[in-house]
Structure 1
């Protein structure tokens, strides 16, 4: 199943620039070179302005909202990420990229993506984006709360982890033990055990 998906992605990756160039040529024939050049330059300037306007303020807003309200802090971050993506798409010369970039600049379209499309594609958790029960989830284990054991599978908390001590040996090598001709001195280095 993964192989056909990779092949489709590769074909789309190769076909997209060809489609963009073909569409630019047709638009240049229809509109004329100078009008098309003005459109491409105008959308590139609009994309630069969108990226500059969004900037790092999105991260500050997302951090403030996550501290105040928890999960809702991801929405401004996604909104800002989509604005930056829109700016980058507008900078690229191509009419398909420009249309997608202009759509991403519309707040209603971005909100529609965040509320309807992205949740169907990804599970967004407070730790990151991925499948539910991803790498930051602790496996269920019994805990004694005085009323018997309960299985919990909450987020991993290193402060409440029982921990495992791993014992081993190491060897400390200093410049005194190195031999410039062979790399190590004739006598064996001193071993330290812990």
Structure 2
């Protein structure tokens, strides 16, 4: 959706929801309509919890395996939006929310959004390069980039004399 259409959408959506309430209220009655609204709020909260935990596990697995977690992150964002739409009072927003819970619809949205999303990270999972090649962090010959020098000292090898005038010293002397 273009950003220039967003104000029109924001203005027309509540009007369409009100019209939906009137139509459904005439068909099934006021109490049944209110019951459906409350049911959709509870369904949205429940689906967000169940689907959200699954998405977090898949993002973690993708990252551990060195894959690109972008798809799972977008799916997670769409699930949050879907739950938000279900929790909004209205039947049109409920239909949009239920559609976003369908994985095929989320995959379709991901194919449209893929070229516009850039994932930047510092961890091994985000490094680009051929599998097992330099910079990939994968493969049987993978080694840390710069482990640095390790110096192992015993207590007798290292001894620090306290600086008496240091502000952090326990033995402060103001007269020096």
TM normalised by structure 1 equals 0.54
Indicate the structure with greater strand content. 1
> RCO higher in 1 or 2 (8 Å CA, sep ≥ 6)?
2
Question: Is residue 120 of structure 2 the alignment partner of residue 124 of structure 1?
Answer: no
- Alignment match, 1:135: none
- Alignment match, 2:86: 90
Question: Is residue 19 of structure 2 the alignment partner of residue 26 of structure 1?
Answer: no
After TM superposition, list the pairs within 5 Å mapping 1:114-153 onto structure 2. 114-115=110-111, 117-119=112-114, 122-127=115-120
Could you list the per-position Cα deviations for residues 37-91 of structure 1 after superposition, in whole angstroms to 9, with x for gaps in the alignment? 12111111110101121345534531431342332x1112222222221111111
RMSD over aligned Cα, in angstroms? 2.5
- Alignment match, 1:14: 11
- Alignment match, 1:113: 109
Tell me by how many angstroms 1:5 deviates.
5.1
- Alignment match, 1:38: 35
Task: Decide whether the 8 Å contact of 2:45 with 2:87 is kept in 1.
Answer: yes
Tell me by how many angstroms 1:24 deviates.
1.0
Task: Decide whether the 8 Å contact of 2:52 with 2:79 is kept in 1.
Answer: no
Task: Decide whether the 8 Å contact of 2:99 with 2:105 is kept in 1.
Answer: yes
**Which range is displaced more, 53-62 or 106-115?**
53-62
- Alignment match, 1:76: 72
Is there any run of 5+ residues in structure 1 with no aligned partner, and where?
A: 129-194
Change (3 A) 1:5 1:108: closer
**How far, CA to CA, are the matches of 1:34 and 1:46 in structure 2?**
18
Runs (4 or more) in structure 1 with deviation over 6 Å come to none
